[in-house]
């Protein structure tokens, strides 16, 4: 866990935009979260340029493929000096074990359980009938068995998981300050609620990046924790 649990999600294709927001919010956040949009546009060199700003980097690629392919991707990321990287727990035990073996020793490896954009109806639509809480618990158990460092879950599941896995990392998106637009997020709480429930990292994107003043938005969230 970093001293400041707030990581800003920089979902942009543009390096200059990501750098400008990161510089503005740097005094108020513990790190930067770069995801698929940034990585598909800017690649490893873009990640290196962001790392030059001096904040820990969580590279949120949500790798989900057969064990050999995921292990190869993690070998390719070695040398970037990442703070954290992730896979999808739905890839299964063997895939996560292969990921663990391939991940750089200094990089935390976590697994996504159930995306925060999904609710019970969405899960039923993909054949999971017993709801987000049961599916998150099932995938978190598998993640722990594979030897990973923790999971991505919504604020609604984090209290139960963190009580059962005290040393785990609990990375929680689906964070919305009171009154903020939900967008595509469905399982949400406020930053303070999620932290009190046991989150070790809060991932917050649009409430900061879409704000008229991202630095002020990040400062207000940090002050609320």
> What is the spatial distance between Cα 152 and Cα 202, in angstroms, rounded to a whole number?
10
Residue 108's DSSP bridge partners are 84
Q: Is 149 a catalytic residue?
A: no
Q: Is 138 in the site for ligand LLZGTKA7 (CB under 6 A)?
A: no
Q: Is 203 in the site for ligand LLZGTKA7 (CB under 6 A)?
A: yes
Judged by CB, which is closer to ligand LLZGTKA7: 107, or 209? 209
> What is the spatial distance between Cα 225 and Cα 222, in angstroms, rounded to a whole number?
6
Q: Which residue is nearest to ligand LLZGTKA7 (CB)?
A: 205
Candidate residues 116, 135, 162, 190; the one interacting with ligand LLZGTKA7 per rule CB under 6 A: 116
Judged by CB, which is closer to ligand LLZGTKA7: 101, or 182? 182
Q: What are phi and psi of 112, to 5 degrees?
A: -75, 130
C-alpha distances (whole Å) from 212 to each of 21, 66, 204, 215, 218 are 11, 42, 15, 9, 11
Burial class (CB in 10 A: 0-12, 13-18, 19+), 134: middle
Q: Is 60 a catalytic residue?
A: yes
Q: Give min distance, CB of 185 to ligand LLZGTKA7, in A.
A: 5
User: Which run of H or E residues covers position 15?
Assistant: helix 15-25
> What is the spatial distance between Cα 81 and Cα 96, in angstroms, rounded to a whole number?
20
Candidate residues 77, 142, 152, 194; the one interacting with ligand LLZGTKA7 per rule CB under 6 A: 152
Interface with ligand LLZGTKA7 by CB under 6 A: which residues? 9, 11, 35, 60, 112, 115-116, 152, 173-174, 183, 185, 203-207
Binding residues, as ranges, are 11, 33, 60-69, 116, 176, 185, 205-206
């Amino acid at each position: 866990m970093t001293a400041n649990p707030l990581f800003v999600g920089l979902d942009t294709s543009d390096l200059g935009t990501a750098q400008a927001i990161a510089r503005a919010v740097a005094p108020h956040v513990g790190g930067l979260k770069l995801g698929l949009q940034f990585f598909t546009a800017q690649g490893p060199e873009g990640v290196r340029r962001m790392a030059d700003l001096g904040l820990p980097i969580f590279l949120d690629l949500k790798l989900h493929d057969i064990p050999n392919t995921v292990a190869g991707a993690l070998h390719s990321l070695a040398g970037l000096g990442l703070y954290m990287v992730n896979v999808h727990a739905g890839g299964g035990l063997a895939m996560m074990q292969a990921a663990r073996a391939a991940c750089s020793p200094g990089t935390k490896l976590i697994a996504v359980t159930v995306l925060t954009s999904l609710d019970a109806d969405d899960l039923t639509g993909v054949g999971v009938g017993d709801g987000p809480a049961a599916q998150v618990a099932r995938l978190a158990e598998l993640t722990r068995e594979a030897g990973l460092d923790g999971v991505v879950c919504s604020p609604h599941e984090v209290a139960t998981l963190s009580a059962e896995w005290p040393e785990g990392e609990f990375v929680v998106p689906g964070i919305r300050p009171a009154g903020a637009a939900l967008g595509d997020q469905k399982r949400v709480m406020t930053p303070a609620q999620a932290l009190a429930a046991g989150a070790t990292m809060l991932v917050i994107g649009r409430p900061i990046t879409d704000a008229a003043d991202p630095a002020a938005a990040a400062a207000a969230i940090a002050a609320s924790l």
